[in-house]
């Protein structure tokens, strides 16, 4: 994948047939920098003065093969996550006051799984499928809507200094290397 002059490559070998079927069904693309599978499903035609859409929605998917995770990043607006199906996923949150949090989104609310969760604006967030699964299908909605320029990925070394108890999670999800921004022109 080439966006904004930068090349991003994701391995597409050894994919389980169930995972491949979901990729084909939704015609997923991969988000630059981190590789999360996604499909934009809604982008409001109503925009603010700066051309930001009033709302956006995507369907996303984490997989084990190919590796699909969300690196730690933050956004300037609240993001609402919705669990749709497949295997449970884990969200990791790094709050500005130094607190850390992790939660499981999945199909069993009576076992503590979240079906919907709001990640507050400016909170570092990262996510992955729970080990042992094939895919986790989820959605994210935002109002104001997502713009690629709003995305800020964290650098592992900086985040580990601030949140040392989460060092293993930060390191594992730091698939963005030294990239902190989406490629020029990426809107999502």
pLDDT digits (tens, 9 = 90+) for 1-60: 333 333 344 455 688 999 999 999 999 999 999 889 999 999 999 999 999 999 999 999
Within a domain: residue 6?
Answer: no
Q: Is residue 26 part of a domain?
A: yes
Please report the sign of the dihedral spanned by the C-alpha atoms of residue 11, residue 58, residue 110, residue 78: positive
pLDDT in tens, 118-131: 999 999 999 999 99
Per-residue model confidence (pLDDT) at position 9: 43
- The runs of H, that is alpha helices, within the chain are 17-26, 156-162, 167-173
Residue 78's pLDDT band, with cuts at 50, 70 and 90, is very high
Say which CATH number the domain at 117 has: 2.60.120.10
138 within domain boundaries: yes
Asked whether residue 188 is assigned to any structural domain, the reply reads no
Task: Decide if 186 is inside a domain.
Answer: no
Residue 84: predicted pLDDT: 98
Q: Flag whether 112 is in a domain.
A: yes
Q: How open is the CA angle 106-125-160, to the nearest 5 degrees?
A: 125
Instruction: Give me the pLDDT at residue 12, please.
Output: 58
Q: Which residue has the higher pLDDT, 146 or 187?
A: 146
User: Taking Cα atoms as reference points, which of 26, 24, 12, 127 lies closest to residue 65?
Assistant: 12
Residue 180 included in any domain: no
Q: 92 lies in a domain?
A: yes
pLDDT tens readout for residues 158-188: 999 999 999 999 999 999 999 999 999 898 8
Average pLDDT, the chain: 92
Neighbours of 155 (CB within 10 A): 17
Backbone dihedral region for residue 34 (phi beyond 0: left; psi -120 to 50: alpha; all else: beta) = alpha
Domain containing 146 equals 14-46+53-173
CA–CA gap between residue 145 and residue 160 (Å, rounded) = 29
Non-local CB neighbours of 139 within 8 Å, separated by 6+ positions: 41, 57, 58, 59, 60, 81, 82, 84
pLDDT of residue 136: 98
Q: How many domains is the chain partitioned into structurally? A: 1
| 3-state SS record for 99-118 | CEEEEEECCCHHHCCECEEE
pLDDT of the residue at 13: 67
Q: Is the pLDDT of residue 72 over 70?
A: yes
């Amino acid at each position: 994948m080439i966006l904004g002059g930068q090349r991003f490559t994701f391995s597409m070998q050894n994919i389980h047939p169930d995972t491949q079927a979901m990729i084909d069904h939704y015609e997923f693309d991969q988000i630059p920098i981190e590789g999360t599978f996604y499909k934009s499903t809604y982008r409001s035609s109503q925009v603010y003065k700066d051309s930001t859409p009033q709302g956006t929605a995507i369907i996303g998917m984490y997989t084990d093969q190919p590796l699909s995770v969300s690196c730690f990043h933050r956004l300037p607006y609240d993001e609402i996550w919705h669990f749709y199906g497949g295997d449970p996923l884990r969200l990791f949150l790094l709050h500005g006051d130094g607190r850390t949090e992790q939660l499981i989104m999945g199909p069993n609310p009576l076992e503590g799984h979240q079906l919907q969760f709001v990640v507050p604006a400016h909170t570092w967030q990262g996510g992955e499928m729970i080990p042992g699964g094939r895919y986790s299908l989820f959605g994210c909605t935002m109002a104001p809507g997502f713009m690629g320029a709003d995305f800020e990925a964290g650098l592992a070394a900086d985040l580990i200094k601030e949140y040392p108890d989460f060092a293993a999670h930060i390191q594992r999800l730091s698939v963005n290397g030294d990239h902190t921004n989406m490629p020029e022109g990426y809107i999502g």
